[in-house]
């Protein structure tokens, strides 16, 4: 049977293994590892999510850099703009600096940014008991995993949902299945399918908010008022 194992049970086992390694984690990571995990049947609408976006100079975390970080919480299906955060990241080098310009970030703006470690530390402080949300989460997952590896830490048991994967899984029920155009999984295109307004692309906070809005639109269209187990969307996001 496809996805026969429980993603949350796997995360719980991974968490125990990580704790047993007795790594000297920062307090925020200790809190993340000791906060209660949700149950597989918990309603996803009752979870607090962090919609996250990284803007990067490329797709390879081993040679490219995170140049900005943005996120916004979703609580009780409401986007909490008061909790939104956005940071420019000071570059370790000027390699691929032209890519930053695509994101409307000039070199002098980057020099006023914060170190990557500081930005990631602030992010980790927000994650205890939360579910991460991203569109095409492979970028955020890989760059975060690379950062964790660079710190000499074991991989961290994080809960991820992915609006792109959710759309692909439930495509036949979505607004986009009726579009008479070649399927396009980009955030901007899916938002148009759900009749959401245009937004400023290539900006970490703007993309995070746009992802949060798409997620809420997906819940309404795909599930209406039905109960949605968290693990159902976790499986869809794999």
Q: Taking the domains of the chain in order of start, what are their residue ranges? A: 7-236
Dist CA 62 CA 64 (whole Å): 6
Confidence of residue 215 (pLDDT cuts 50, 70, 90): very high
Q: Which residues pair with residue 189 across a beta bridge?
A: none
What is the SS3 assignment for 210? helix
More confident residue, 171 or 186: 186
Enclosing H/E stretch for 33: helix 27-34
Terminal Cα-to-Cα distance of the chain (whole angstroms): 15
Beta strand 49-56 with 131-134: parallel, antiparallel or unpaired?
parallel
Residue 200 has pLDDT above 80, yes or no: yes
CA distances from 121 to 2, 25, 87, 159, 178 (A): 36, 11, 12, 18, 43
Number of residues in the chain: 238
Mean pLDDT calculated for residue range 204-209: 98
Which pair of tokens denotes residue 211? 């992802």
Q: Write the Ramachandran bin of 159: left for phi over 0, alpha for psi from -120 to 50, otherwise beta.
A: beta
**Digit-coded pLDDT (tens) for 103-128:** 566 676 777 899 999 999 999 999 99
Phi, psi of 231 (to 5 degrees): -65, -25
Residues 171, 173, 174, 177, Cα dihedral to 10°: 60
Mean pLDDT calculated for residue range 186-209: 94
Architecture of the structural domain at 7-236: 2-Layer Sandwich (3.30)
Confidence of residue 217 (pLDDT cuts 50, 70, 90): very high
Query: ∠ CA 156-159-165 to the nearest 5 degrees?
Result: 125
**Digit-coded pLDDT (tens) for 70-89:** 999 999 999 999 999 999 99
Burial of residue 170 (number of CB atoms within 10 Å: 0-12, 13-18, 19+): middle
């Amino acid at each position: 049977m496809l996805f026969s194992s429980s993603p949350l049970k796997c995360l719980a086992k991974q968490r125990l293994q990580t704790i047993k390694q007795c790594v000297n984690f920062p307090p925020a990571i200790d809190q993340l590892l000791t906060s209660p995990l949700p149950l597989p049947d918990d309603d996803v609408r009752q979870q607090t999510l962090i919609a996250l976006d990284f803007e990067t100079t490329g797709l390879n975390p081993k040679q490219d850099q995170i140049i900005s970080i943005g996120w916004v919480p979703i609580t009780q299906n409401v986007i909490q703009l008061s909790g939104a955060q956005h940071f420019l990241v000071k570059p370790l080098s000027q390699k691929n600096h032209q890519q930053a310009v695509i994101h409307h970030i000039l070199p002098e703006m980057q020099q006023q940014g914060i170190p990557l470690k500081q930005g990631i530390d602030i992010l980790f402080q927000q994650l205890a008991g939360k579910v991460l949300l991203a569109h095409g989460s492979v970028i955020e997952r890989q760059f975060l995993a690379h950062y964790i590896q660079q710190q000499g830490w074991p991989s961290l048991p994080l809960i991820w949902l992915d609006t792109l994967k959710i759309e692909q899984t439930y495509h036949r029920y979505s607004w986009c299945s009726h579009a008479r155009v070649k399927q396009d999984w980009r955030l901007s295109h899916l938002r148009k399918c759900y009749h959401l307004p245009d937004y400023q692309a290539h900006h970490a906070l703007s993309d995070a908010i746009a992802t949060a809005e798409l997620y809420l639109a997906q819940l309404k269209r795909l599930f209406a008022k039905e109960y949605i187990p968290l693990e159902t969307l976790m499986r869809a996001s794999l």
